[in-house]
Structure 1
Amino acid sequence: MKVPVFLSRPTPHLEAQIQFVDELKRELSNRGFDPHTLGPGSSYDYDAPLIGIRRILTHCCGLVSIAFRRTHVTSATKHLGADTAGRTEEPSSDIWFTSPYCQIEPAMAFQLGLPILILREEGVLAEGVLEKGVTGLYLPEFSLEASSSFITSDECRRLLDQWSGYVRTVHKRRGDPPMLFT
Structure 2
Amino acid sequence: MITIKKHYSYYNPQDGKYYVDKPYSLRDDKVSPSAAPKMPLKNTADRAYKIPVFLSHPSMLNATQTRFLNRLIDEIERALLFPRTLPDTEQYPNKTITSVRRMILSSYGLIAVNMQQVFANYTMTNIPGGTPPPPSWEGAPFLQIEPSMGYQRGLPLLLIKEAGVNSIGVWNPSVVPFFIIEWDSSKPLDEFFNRVEWREIFQNWVAQVRNGYFIQTQPSYRYGPDDL
For the superposition of Structure 1 and Structure 2, which TM-score range results when normalised by the shorter chain?
0.7 to 0.9
- Distance in structure 2 (CA, Å) of the matches to 1:118 and 1:53: 17
Quote the residue 1:127 is aligned against: 168
Quote the residue 1:15 is aligned against: 63
- Unaligned 5+ runs, structure 2: 1-48
- Distance in structure 1 (CA, Å) of the matches to 2:140 and 2:95: 17
Q: CA deviation at 1:57?
A: 1.2
Q: CA deviation at 1:179?
A: 6.7
**Are 1:161 and 2:203 matched, yes or no?**
yes
Quote the residue 1:98 is aligned against: 139
Quick check: 2:77–2:83 contact (8 Å CA) kept in 1? yes
- Distance in structure 2 (CA, Å) of the matches to 1:118 and 1:37: 15
Quick check: 2:54–2:104 contact (8 Å CA) kept in 1? yes
Quick check: 2:68–2:189 contact (8 Å CA) kept in 1? no
**Are 1:141 and 2:190 matched, yes or no?**
no
Quick check: 1:64–1:116 contact (8 Å CA) kept in 2? yes
- Distance in structure 1 (CA, Å) of the matches to 2:180 and 2:193: 14
Correspondence for 1:44 among 91, 97, 107: 91
Partner amino acid, structure 1, of 2:156: P
- Distance in structure 2 (CA, Å) of the matches to 1:46 and 1:33: 25
- Distance in structure 1 (CA, Å) of the matches to 2:51 and 2:174: 26
Partner amino acid, structure 1, of 2:100: I
* Structure with more strand by fraction: 1
Listed one character per residue, the Cα deviations across residues 5-37 of structure 1 (whole Å, up to 9, x for unaligned) are 000000143100100110000000001110000
Identity %: 26
Quote the residue 2:36 is aligned against: none
Aligned residues: 175
- Distance in structure 2 (CA, Å) of the matches to 1:76 and 1:158: 41
**Are 1:175 and 2:217 matched, yes or no?**
yes
**Are 1:116 and 2:157 matched, yes or no?**
yes
Partner amino acid, structure 2, of 1:146: K
- Distance in structure 2 (CA, Å) of the matches to 1:107 and 1:158: 23
Q: TM-score, normalised by structure 1?
A: 0.88
- Distance in structure 1 (CA, Å) of the matches to 2:134 and 2:174: 25
Quick check: 1:79–1:90 contact (8 Å CA) kept in 2? no
Partner amino acid, structure 2, of 1:34: F
**Are 1:75 and 2:75 matched, yes or no?**
no
Q: Secondary structure at the match of 1:81?
A: coil
Instruction: Report the CA distance shift for 1:142/1:78 in structure 2 as closer, same or farther (over 3 A).
Output: farther
- Distance in structure 1 (CA, Å) of the matches to 2:150 and 2:86: 14
Q: Secondary structure at the match of 2:135?
A: strand
Instruction: Report the CA distance shift for 1:123/1:22 in structure 2 as closer, same or farther (over 3 A).
Output: same
Single out whichever of 150-159 and 113-122 deviates more from structure 2.
Answer: 150-159
**Are 1:152 and 2:199 matched, yes or no?**
no
Instruction: Report the CA distance shift for 1:115/1:133 in structure 2 as closer, same or farther (over 3 A).
Output: farther
